[in-house]
Structures are given as structure tokens and as C-alpha cells.
Amino acid sequence: MEVCYQLPVLPLDRPVPKHVLSRRGAISFSSSSSLFGAPDPRQLSQRRGAISYDSSDQTALYIRMLGACVVFKQLFARDVRVRSQVGFEPERRSSHPYLFIDFRTLHTRLSCGSASASSVPERRLHRLLSCQRYLHSSRLLRGVPQQIPLHILDEDYTGQARCMLEKVGNWNFDIFLFDRLTNGNSLITLTFHLLNHYGLVELFQLDLVKLWRFLVMVQEDYHSGNPYHNAVHAADVTQAMHCYLQEPMLAKSLTSYDILLGLLAAATHDLDHPGVNQPFLIKTDHYLATLYRNTSVLENHHWKSAVGLLRETGLFSHLPPEDSLNVERDLGSLILATDISRQNEYLTRFRTHLDQNNLCLINASHRHFILQMALKCADICNPCRPWELSKQWSEKVTEEFFQQGDIEKKHKLEVSPLCDRETNTVGDIQIGFMAYVAEPLFAEWTRFSDTRLSQTMLGHMGLNKASWSSLQQEQTSMSEEVEPSTVGTDIGGVATQTDSNIVTATGGTSSKELPQGSREP
């Protein structure tokens, strides 16, 4: 029997207050603006879409879009990521009173059955959605069924996944295999396991339902269409962070709070990444670039997105408000540290501490700084993995670069460094990245923690660099046999351009120009 629920809606002819201003998906709210009144909390569940708000705003509002209906609720006197709702995923339906609403029918009703509804442009809804959410909502509204993966796995697969988790601290952990064994749920499964492994669920009295819902929403907000910046990359970084947390220097010094922050930051550090870099957002006048004044644009968005999910799920709602705000602030400090344009700043500070031998991990600020450096290492550790894993990551991140370059060419924009598939190769990019970014960072990390793991990472990086050089030489030899008069000049030009681009990227303002996940190429 089919069950139908009547959807309570606000009057469609009620004008939207003038203080609600939208621009390319961004909405600003005045702190003096009045609200429609606090709605029933039961109606303020779930979300769909991702919107960040100006940090200068003193009033943050939670918006849920149901067709043309808007429900407002004041949350905190601080900025927060605000989300919109146009659909529900199966795993979240059970907690919502309108669990079986067909939004395609609702859309048809609004657009065809009501004159007042037609006065509200459909694009008002679309402005509120990120690119991924817009595509998802469009599929729903057009009646195209969403491809939902099955979450029930064969016992053999779940058994193999459990066996892999027993060795989650191994540096050669194959995150690609683990993702297949968990049916694409590597981030959820891995993070949940690690939080439980460290006893953080019990220690911080985390509600299991809220925690699971938070992790599901985090994984959903990674764009599966991105070749590199997706949930598998986040799971890989989380696993690397776990390896670093096991290092003697950290294991004997970090508190449970530090470990909680480190794991959450690793899992959310690229949340809602659009698959393009910061210069692309700036030159296309994207609303996020304007919102964050062209400074750490993506990192700020990842942080605010994570804060939005924490507040929406109420994962830390049982803690005193001051403690919850501290978690949000410290989480942001870790995520913002992954901005590659600030690489030299953090590396210089790290090197100075090591030269002066004044790092004292009893000091909370020093522990936090080491967490920042650990997250930076985890974020760009792909060159330090075994060749079979490192090569896959290299190809994925380069493909994401090239896809951006294709878009820039299509729209007659200047092609960003490292993004032109005609003048760059995977090997060129990786060799330059290792020489100018990865090697300096991991050399200093080894000075801080000279362990077997650190030596293993440096060893893998050296072998991987040699492997790419060998592949480059083979490709050059084959090319010279075909075009001996022209290829030599072209190869030299590529190498010079790549090295120059990487130097510029690490010292300039571009936060997304480098490969290997060095904080969003």
C-alpha cells in the first residue's frame, strides 16, 4: 500500500524578505533581520545543498528548500554553513516526518497547479545548490531515478574488509581495495572504526546514530565525479593520519581531544571540493572567491561545510556550548593549514622549531601545530606510498588537472599551470611536485620523528621519483624515434614550464595548483 503524507508549506505568495539577498548561490543575512518565528524542530532535519555565509554576519540561518517553500530557523550568533533541502537519501528517511514525499510530484504541483507558485522562479532553488547538489536535484525533478548503491554486501566482502581493518596502521594499506570491499563506503567505515579504536566514542559519549549520520553525510558531500578529490582521497588521508598518530613522538604526547580533532579534520579536509582549484574560482568570479576574499577559498569552504554538518547532526550538542565552539575553531585551524599557498610559511616555522629544538608537546599550542604538520603530510603523502598506490593517485590527480584545463580551453580562459594536457605529462608534474613540495616537507618531518615509518616514506618517494624519471626517458626515446627533430625542444619546454609553475604555486596565492592532494591541487 502506498502511503502519502500531506506536506505543510508556507504561503507561496508571501514575499521573500528584502534582507535575503542571493548571488550565485551565496546568501547574506542582516543581523537585524526578523524571522518568521522558530519552526517545529522536527521540521528542521536533513539537508540538500551547500551554502556558506559571510563571516561578518552575526545571524546564521538554517534554510530548507521544499520546492519554493523556505523554513527559517536561527541557530547561533556565529557564521555557519547553511544547507538547503530538496530530497532525502534512503539511509536518512527514517528520521524525518516527511519520509515518503515524492519531490517530483511536489515540483509538478508547484509549477503547474498554482498560479502563485509560477511567480517564484525555479532558479531561486537552483541558486542555493552547489554544482553537485544541483545535478542531483535536477535528476529528481526531471523524474530520472537516482542511482543508489546497495549497502548490503556479501559476507565474504565484509569479512575481507574487517581483515583489512586489522592492519589499518600499515603504511602499504590499499585504500582502493578497501573501498571496493566496502562498496564505496571506505570513508564511513574507516573513520568509524578509528574513532572506536581510540575509544573516542565512549570517552566523548558520542551518540552512535548521530555519529553514523554525520559520517554518511560527510561521505555524501564529497563529489564522486572528481577523479581525485573524492571520499576515497579523504579516507586515504584519514588512514595516513592514523599512521602518524601511532608514531612514538605523538602517541605519548597527544590527548584524546587532539586525536579526535586529527581524525575529524582528515575526514573533512576536502569536504564539498568542486574539482577545480582556487585560481579557477577567482578568475570565474565564483561566489566562494568573493565570500572569502580570494583567501584560502576552498579551505574555508571545507571548514564551514564540516561545521555545518556537526551542527546539523548535533554530534557535539551534548557538550557545553563553549566546548562545541572550541571544537569547531580548532577543526578550522587544522583544515586551513592544508592551504598549499601557505606551505612555505608552515615549513619555515617547523624548520625553525627543529633548529632551536624548542618543541614542547606538553604545550597545547605546540601539539596543535604538530597536528597541523601531520595533516599536511597526510594530505600530500601519495608520493610516499608504494609505487602501485602512488601511481594510481598520480594519474587521478593529473586527470583532474587536465579536466579543469579542458574546461578553461572550452570557455576561452587562460589555462591554469599544470592543467594543459598538451604541454604537461604525469611524470613531469610528479617529479616537480616531489622535488619542490614533498621532499622538503617530509625531510623536516623525519627530523622531527626519525622512525622506521619516516624512513620508509622517504625510501618510497625516492623510488617513485626514479620510476617516473625512467618512464619519462622511455617516452622521450619513443617520441624521438617518431619525431627526432621536434620532440627534444618540446620536452625541454615542458620541464621548464612545470618547474616554474610549481615554484610559483608554492610561493604564491594559488592553493590548488599542486598534485598529489597537496591540499587541493
pLDDT in tens, 474-503: 888 887 776 655 444 333 333 333 333 443
- CA angle (316, 319, 334) in 5-degree steps: 55
| Active site (annotated) includes residue 193 | no
Please tell me the predicted confidence (pLDDT) of residue 154.
Answer: 53
Task: Please state the length of the chain.
Answer: 521
pLDDT band at 66 (very low <50, low <70, confident <90, very high): very low
Q: For 67-94, give the secondary structure using H, E and C.
A: CCEEEEEECCCCCCCECCCCCCCHHHHH
CA 315 to CA 201: how far, in whole Å? 11
**Is-contact 451 247, C-beta < 8 A?**
yes
The mean pLDDT of 371-377, rounded to a whole number, is 98
The mean pLDDT of 96-102, rounded to a whole number, is 32
Residue 71 has pLDDT above 50, yes or no: no
**Is-contact 480 488, C-beta < 8 A?**
yes
- CA angle (475, 476, 480) in 5-degree steps: 120
Domains and their CATH numbers in the chain: 7-24+59-83 (no CATH), 165-378 (1.10.1300.10)
pLDDT, tens only, 105-140? 333 333 344 444 444 444 443 444 445 555 555 544
Check the CA dihedral 307-310-311-317 and report its sign. Answer: negative
Please tell me the predicted confidence (pLDDT) of residue 362.
Answer: 96
**How far is C-alpha 157 from the geometric centre of its chain's CA atoms?**
27
pLDDT, tens only, 426-478? 999 999 999 999 999 999 999 999 999 999 999 999 999 999 999 999 888 88
Grid coordinates representing 337 are 593549514
**Is-contact 257 199, C-beta < 8 A?**
no
Residue 294 has pLDDT above 90, yes or no: yes
Q: In Å, what is the CA distance from 310 to each residue of 59, 85, 292, 492?
A: 18, 17, 21, 49
Please tell me the predicted confidence (pLDDT) of residue 160.
Answer: 92
**Is-contact 458 384, C-beta < 8 A?**
yes
What percent of the chain shows pLDDT beyond 90? 60
Q: For 370-400, give the secondary structure using H, E and C.
A: HHHHHHHHHHCCHHHCCHHHHHHHHHHHHHH
Residue with cell 585504500: 175
**Is-contact 225 518, C-beta < 8 A?**
no
Residue 396 has pLDDT above 90, yes or no: yes
Mean pLDDT for the chain overall: 75
Query: If residue 160 lies in a helix (H) or strand (E), which one and from where to where?
Result: helix 155-165
- Residues annotated as binding site? 229-233, 269-270, 379, 430
Please tell me the predicted confidence (pLDDT) of residue 286.
Answer: 96
pTM here is 0.68
Residue 87 has pLDDT above 80, yes or no: no
CA 251 to CA 253: how far, in whole Å? 6
pLDDT, tens only, 167-211? 999 999 999 999 999 999 999 999 999 999 999 999 999 999 999
DSSP 20: -
Check the CA dihedral 166-248-517-197 and report its sign. Answer: positive
Q: Which of 229, 242, 286, 302 is catalytic?
A: 229
**How far is C-alpha 313 from the geometric centre of its chain's CA atoms?**
18
**Is-contact 208 258, C-beta < 8 A?**
no
CA 231 to CA 220: how far, in whole Å? 8
Q: How many CB atoms lie within 10 A of CB 178?
A: 22
CA 520 to CA 233: how far, in whole Å? 11
Nearest CA-CA partner of 343 in 457, 441, 262 = 441
**Is-contact 129 44, C-beta < 8 A?**
no
**How far is C-alpha 289 from the geometric centre of its chain's CA atoms?**
17
pLDDT band at 217 (very low <50, low <70, confident <90, very high): very high
Residue 379 has pLDDT above 50, yes or no: yes
First to last CA, the chain: 51
**How far is C-alpha 263 from the geometric centre of its chain's CA atoms?**
13
Residue 296 has pLDDT above 80, yes or no: yes
Nearest CA-CA partner of 50 in 144, 141, 142, 134 = 134
Please tell me the predicted confidence (pLDDT) of residue 78.
Answer: 34
- CA angle (415, 416, 418) in 5-degree steps: 110
- Residues annotated as binding site for AMP? 229-233, 270, 379, 430
- CA angle (165, 167, 169) in 5-degree steps: 105
Count the helices and strands in the chain (H runs, E runs): 23, 4
Q: How many CB atoms lie within 10 A of CB 55?
A: 12
Q: Are strands 26-28 and 21-23 parallel, antiparallel or unpaired?
A: antiparallel
The mean pLDDT of 343-356, rounded to a whole number, is 98
